[in-house]
Amino acid sequence: MQKENCSHFWEMVNVASGLIVMKKCFHCGKVSTCFCFHDKLPLEPCYEEGHFWNFVEGDPTFHFDLKCTKCDTLVKFDELVGLMLCTGCDQTCEVDIIRRKLEPEHTRVYIALGYRPIDERKQLSQEKISILEDYFSQQGESLKCKIKIVSHEMVKSIDNCYAEVIKDVEGLFMVPSEEK
């Protein structure tokens, strides 16, 4: 995926607004998440891959890819539905344990939300999560904090998670009110 012998400097490209859409199958009870490149909620039920999906929720967010400005390597993030900021809603969740551990270092923990059902969809690789972290670490001064990215598979109960969905690019770089 990445070209060898290049100290990558990533830039965000192909940025597009859209929605994180959550649907639930009334037949088996599984939950589906996906990214829609439009702002119209899909309210109509649909049949897909053996599931009868009914709309549950939609949150505005954005999609992007990363491109190296030095070697033109393009990394597509098609498996990424959106980024969410861990808010510490469950102290027994592995993600919140990481958040509390890194809090003294002024590190924010973002959850890379992938497509669900997890067992039926391709997930974001650890290599791509590392590339996301590289991108954020390059932002340095503009962030005023460090960023740790984790997979949504680490969240104890994604259905009960109150993480804050990042709605736009500017939201990634905002300083939380307690840090101002």
Domain boundaries, given as residue ranges, for the chain: 10-179
The answer to whether 136 touches 53, Cβ cutoff 8 Å, is: no
Report whether pLDDT(68) > 80.
Answer: yes
Q: What is the mean pLDDT of the chain?
A: 87
Average pLDDT over residues 26-47: 85
pLDDT over threshold 70, residue 178? no
Higher pLDDT, 49 or 104: 104
Which residue, among 161, 20, 33, has the nearest Cα to 96 in the 3D structure?
161
Strand, coil or helix: 106: coil
Asked if pLDDT for residue 173 goes beyond 50, the answer is yes
Mean pLDDT, range 72-96, rounded to an integer: 95
CA 166 to chain centre: 8
Q: Please tell me the distance from the alpha carbon of residue 1 to that of residue 55, in angstroms, as a whole number.
A: 35
pLDDT (tens digit per residue) in 89-114: 999 999 999 999 999 998 999 999 99
Per-residue confidence (pLDDT) for residue 125, from 0 to 100: 95
Burial 112-151, CB ≥16 within 10 A → b, else e: bbbbbebeeeebbeeebbebbbbbbeeeeeebeebbbbbb
| Residue 179 pLDDT > 50 | no
**35-44, 97-106, 162-171: which is most confident:** 97-106
The pLDDT assigned to 146 comes to: 85
Confidence of residue 180 (pLDDT cuts 50, 70, 90): very low
pLDDT of 160 reads: 87
> Reduced to 3 DSSP states, what percent helix, strand and coil does the chain have, rounded to the nearest 5?
25, 40, 40
Q: 142 or 180: which carries more pLDDT confidence? A: 142
For residue 75, what pLDDT is reported?
A: 97
β-strands 80-85, 107-114: how paired?
antiparallel
* Alpha-carbon gap, residue 9 to 6, rounded angstroms: 9
